[in-house]
Amino acid sequence: MTLKRLITAIMLLFAAGIYTDACAQKKLGTGIRKLLGMEKKNAQTELSYPEFKPLSYQEYCGTSIEDIFYNPNPEIIPISTERNFTDFSDLPDEYDIWSNSTINPYGISLVGMKDTIKIDVKGYCPPSVKHVTSDWGFRKWKFHYGIDLKVHRGDTVRCAFDGTVRITRRDRGYGYFVVVRHDNGLETLYGHLNKILVKNDQKIKAGQAVGMGGNTGRSTGYHLHLEFRYLGNPINPNDIVNFETHEVHKPVLVLNARTFAYKQEIDKIRYWTVRKGDTLGRIAYRTGVSVNKLCKLNGITKTTVLRIGRKIRYT
C-alpha cells in the first residue's frame, strides 16, 4: 500500500467516526426527551415554565448569614407571660336600666352563668390605703358583701375607676353612700361616708373624691365599706385587689360561674326567729341541729341571752 492510499484510508475512518458519534448523540437526545415527556408533538408546541421570584436567605429564614457568623450569641427575648387582652367584654344590655335609688335594679342572678366575662381593671385607684377591719364573707348571722377599710373622720374616699355616679343618698344600713357605674362594666359602692362630694349622673375619674370617711348608718366605728358588683351581684373584693399592697392582682378580671358560687351557700342558710320561751335547747330540738353547732354558726355561747326577735342561723 502506497503512502497516498494509507493517508486516504485514515481520513475515511476518521470521517466515519464523527458521523457515527453525531447520530448517537441525536438518538440519545431524542430518548431523553421522550423519557421526560418533552418531545415536541409538532412544530407549534412550546414549553412554558412559571417564573418564581428569587428569595434571599434572609427573606426565607428571617435572619442573614452575616448574623449567624458575626453574632453567634444573639439576645434571647423571653416570651411575656402577661396576656394582652383586646377582647374585653362589652357592657351588658341590662345596663340600659339606670336607677338613682336602687342598688340592684337588674334582678339577675349570675349563679351558674354560662359565659365568661373579661374586665379591664388596670386603671384601679385605691379608695383608701389603710388596713382591713372586716373582711368579705359570713359575719355572725348575716353575709358581709364587701370589705371594710379603716378611715378617720374626714379622710378622702376616692373613686376606684372612671365612670358615672349612679346613686348618692342615705340609707339606714350604709349611712351616706355612693354607687358608681364604671366604664369597664363594674359598679362600686362606698358606704358609711361622713359627707358625699359628688352628684347623681356626674362623670367621674379614677382617683377623684366621692366623699369623706365617716361612721354613718349601721356602723361600729369609722371605716369605709367598699363593694364591687357586676349586674348588681357582689364580687369578693379579694378576687380583684391585694389589700396589703392595694394593687390589683391581674390587669384583667375574669368573671365566671365560680365567681358567684358563694350565693348557692347563702341560699341554703335558714334562720330561726326567737320567740317567747325559746332556749338554745328548744331551738336545737325544733331544727334538728345541735346546741354546739348553733353556737358556732352564730358566734354565741350556751349562756348567751336570747332576745325575742333575734335571728338564729341553723343551716
Same domain, 257 and 286: no
Same domain, 260 and 292: no
Number of Cβ atoms within 10 Å of the Cβ of 170: 12
**pLDDT of residue 175 exceeding 70:** yes
**Which stretch of 26-30, 105-109, 123-127 has the lowest confidence by average pLDDT?**
26-30
Sheet holding 195-196, edge to edge: 156-158, 209-212, 195-196
Does residue 182 belong to any structural domain of this protein?
Answer: yes
**pLDDT of residue 43 exceeding 50:** no
The three grid cell numbers given for residue 145, joined into one nine-digit string: 358583701
Does residue 143 belong to any structural domain of this protein?
Answer: yes
Does residue 193 belong to any structural domain of this protein?
Answer: yes
- For residue 77, what pLDDT band results from cuts at 50, 70 and 90? very low
Separation of alpha carbons 242 and 306, rounded Å? 39
168: closest CA among 129, 199, 212? 199
**pLDDT of residue 234 exceeding 90:** yes
Does residue 254 belong to any structural domain of this protein?
Answer: yes
Same domain, 115 and 239: yes
Residue of higher predicted confidence among 15 and 211: 211
Residue of higher predicted confidence among 65 and 174: 174
Q: What is the pLDDT of residue 263?
A: 85
Same domain, 202 and 119: yes
**pLDDT of residue 193 exceeding 90:** yes
Q: What is the pLDDT of residue 269?
A: 76
Q: What is the pLDDT of residue 256?
A: 94
User: Which pTM does this prediction carry?
Assistant: 0.64
Same domain, 299 and 165: no
**pLDDT of residue 312 exceeding 60:** yes
Does residue 42 belong to any structural domain of this protein?
Answer: no
Backbone torsions φ then ψ of 143, nearest 5 degrees = -95, 135
> What is the arithmetic mean of pLDDT over 260-275?
84
Same domain, 155 and 249: yes
Same domain, 229 and 189: yes
Q: What is the pLDDT of residue 128?
A: 95
Range of the domain at 287: 271-313
**pLDDT of residue 172 exceeding 70:** yes
Greatest Cα-to-Cα distance within the chain, rounded to the nearest angstrom:
159
Grid cell 364580687 is found at 235
Spatial CB neighbours of 184, under 8 Å, sequence gap ≥ 6: 88, 119, 120, 121, 123, 161
Q: What is the pLDDT of residue 80?
A: 44
Mean pLDDT of the chain: 82
- For residue 3, what pLDDT band results from cuts at 50, 70 and 90? low
- For residue 235, what pLDDT band results from cuts at 50, 70 and 90? very high
Does residue 33 belong to any structural domain of this protein?
Answer: no
CA torsion 199→200→203→208, rounded to 10°? Answer: 40
**How many separate domains does the chain show?**
2
Residue of higher predicted confidence among 68 and 203: 203
Separation of alpha carbons 287 and 272, rounded Å? 8
The three grid cell numbers given for residue 99, joined into one nine-digit string: 336607677
> What is the arithmetic mean of pLDDT over 116-131?
95
**Contact (Cβ atoms closer than 8 angstroms) between residue 189 and residue 174:** yes
Q: What percent of the chain has pLDDT over 90?
A: 54
Spatial CB neighbours of 271, under 8 Å, sequence gap ≥ 6: 141, 311, 312, 313, 314
Separation of alpha carbons 270 and 287, rounded Å? 10
Does residue 126 belong to any structural domain of this protein?
Answer: yes
Spatial CB neighbours of 293, under 8 Å, sequence gap ≥ 6: 314
> What is the arithmetic mean of pLDDT over 76-96?
64
